[in-house]
Amino acid sequence: MLFIKLSAIASTNSFLKEWVQQTKDYDAVGVWTEHQTKGRGRRDTTWHAAKGLNLTGSVYLAASLLHHDHTFTLNEQACVAVYNTLKEYKIPALSIKWPNDILSGNKKLGGILVEPILRGTDVQGVVIGCGINVNQRSFPDLPCATSMAMLLNDRFSVEAMFETLAKNIKAQLSSGVDVHKTYMDVLFGRKRPLDFLRPDGAAFSATITDVSPSGRLILTHSDGTVATFDEQEVIFKVASNCQ
């Protein structure tokens, strides 16, 4: 696996997608930067990370390494790989919040962005962006953020962590192992009533039952009725002031 370190870049996902279109010599590449100036999350949100303190990187895997080309399956595999990597650090109350956030308790520790590279309808590879709050100890504008340093009162090597994380992502996505059950087992709030908000602000309570193959959240209401939601259709109330 080729590793590339950059001092600063707008977005490691954007850089890597352009780079692999021009360089065909590698089927697995990891890129990380000390300063990502325009990091991206899902739905065109912005990922904020202080310079030199956090893990901001991306992993490219060619289609030849993938056993699946379904976007949400790739998302589940990437989330489980990141979860398992962070679990080794003994982070308390670690979980995945649907669809792709990493939490410690109710606080956001990181996020994942999966972007397939397409030629027409054919998947040529995938770029997986990872943002993990590592050594930053203050988030004045992000009330729901936390970091490994805050949780564990220690300092960590971002470079070593990224290399381990990238290798784990490659191993997970190339293994062909179905991780849906694992993803569900560590999903935040599963099997207990949670409060949700609709985009219009209407509140309701329901229990997470499953996530569909297309990535829709399946909720069961107290009266037994079942409903499914896309990401833009429902907000976890606990995270309503963290968007």
Together in a domain, 131 and 206: no
Residue count (the chain): 243
Together in a domain, 217 and 140: no
pLDDT at 47: 56
Spatial distance between the Cα atoms of 230 and 200, rounded to a whole number of angstroms:
15
Beta strands in 63-164 (DSSP E): 94-97, 101-104, 107-119, 122-132
pLDDT at 238: 79
Spatial distance between the Cα atoms of 2 and 4, rounded to a whole number of angstroms:
7
* pTM metric for this prediction: 0.91
Together in a domain, 135 and 206: no
pLDDT at 107: 94
Q: Which helix (H) or strand (E) holds 126?
A: strand 122-132
What is residue 34's DSSP assignment?
S
pLDDT at 103: 97
pLDDT at 21: 85
pLDDT at 40: 56
Together in a domain, 138 and 93: yes
Q: Which domain holds residue 149?
A: 2-185
pLDDT at 102: 97
Together in a domain, 74 and 116: yes
Together in a domain, 150 and 216: no
Beta bridge partners of 55: 132
pLDDT at 122: 85
What is the count of structural domains for the chain? Answer: 2
Residues of the chain with pLDDT under 50: 42-43, 243
Spatial distance between the Cα atoms of 101 and 174, rounded to a whole number of angstroms:
22
- How does pLDDT run across 190-243, given as a tens digit for each residue? 989 999 999 998 999 999 999 999 999 999 998 999 999 999 999 998 765 554
Which residue do the tokens 């901001």 mark? Answer: 56
Together in a domain, 177 and 105: yes
Query: What's 207's domain CATH number?
Result: 2.30.30
Residues in CB range of 180: below 8 A, 6 or more apart: 73, 76, 211
Spatial distance between the Cα atoms of 110 and 158, rounded to a whole number of angstroms:
14
